Amino acid sequence: MDLSFLRAHDAVRDTAPLIQCLTNKVVSNISANALLAIGASPAMVDTPDESQDFAKIASGVLINCGTPNSEQYAGMREAIAGATAAGNPWVLDPVGAGGLEKRTEFMHEVLPQGPTAIRGNASEIIALAGTGAGGRGVESTDGVEAALEPALKLSRETGAVIGVSGPTDLIVQAGERPRAVSLESGHPMLQNVIGTGCSLGAICAAYLAAWEDPFAAIIAAHAHVGAAGSVAAETSTAPGSFAVAWLDALHELTTDAIEERISASEVADVAELS
């Protein structure tokens, strides 16, 4: 397929989008560093007092439900209201959907407000679509291919582009002409570093802010993160040094180098499923 949309990477570098992250405390540091590494500007503003106003001036917003306390839930509601009011893109990362009841309720509460994209692992997407039970906590116990139909359903119901992360990534968009792209990139070691997936959620928001077509933006974001993983795996076989090399690669990769390191193909039978 035509991969010219990978130039979204250059658009992120050129525009330095300001990305507001309401994310979990475990990954806030690596997520902010990942945003800086790709040329975006992170702001981890997540309190109820400040989130709505900030979401109106931010280029994009990430809502990540990894460790939500009551104030952060309130902040998330405010941020979504602000982003929606200003027409800014926002990404939902449904960490732990299905397995954890309270946060799953919250996700269902905000889904009707129309996230621009939803990025999760297969178990989370399946659970959010109401077609499965969710993973073991925050782990995926389902294969990516099992998430195709649920992702289409979720996209149809919310209007969001759905990114399903896994050994192979799946990016899905319903609509008049439903589409699904299967993306080969990355490296298994990415699963051994906490926060690479959550950082991908933040990076999706940056790509959405910098590129007009949301479907292409989400593919390009996954491609960038995955390609950086394959670079890191060339020099690092253990998670401490892999994490360092992955951040370095996020910063150093050119668009051409990303393209060389990934392969993407349209899933043929999407229209039939839809």
Query: Do the beta carbons of residue 180 and residue 172 sit within 8 Å?
Result: yes
Q: Which is nearer to a second copy, 71 or 266 (CB)?
A: 71
The answer to whether residue 267 forms part of the interface with a second copy (CB under 8 A) is no
Going by C-beta distance under 8 Å and a sequence separation of 6 or more, which residues neighbour residue 70? none
* CA torsion through residues 217, 218, 219, 225, sign: positive
CB of 250 to a second copy, least distance (A): 8
Site string for a second copy, 46-65 (x = CB under 8 A): xx-xx--xx--xx-------
Torsion angle in degrees (nearest 10) through CA of 171, 66, 130, 126: 40
The answer to whether residue 100 forms part of the interface with a second copy (CB under 8 A) is yes
Query: Do the beta carbons of residue 99 and residue 134 sit within 8 Å?
Result: yes
Q: Which of 223, 231, 250 is nearest to 168 (CA)?
A: 223
CB of 102 to a second copy, least distance (A): 4
The answer to whether residue 3 forms part of the interface with a second copy (CB under 8 A) is no
The answer to whether residue 254 forms part of the interface with a second copy (CB under 8 A) is no
How much is the CA Rg of the chain, to the nearest whole Å? 17
The answer to whether residue 168 forms part of the interface with a second copy (CB under 8 A) is no
The answer to whether residue 26 forms part of the interface with a second copy (CB under 8 A) is yes
Helix, strand, coil shares of the chain, percent, nearest 5, are 55, 15, 30
The answer to whether residue 246 forms part of the interface with a second copy (CB under 8 A) is yes
Q: What tokens appear for 83 in the block?
A: 């982003």
The answer to whether residue 262 forms part of the interface with a second copy (CB under 8 A) is no
The answer to whether residue 30 forms part of the interface with a second copy (CB under 8 A) is yes
Applying CB under 8 A, which residues contact a second copy?
18, 20, 24-30, 32-33, 36-37, 41-47, 49-50, 53-54, 57-58, 66-72, 96, 100-103, 136-139, 191-195, 237-241, 243-249, 251-252
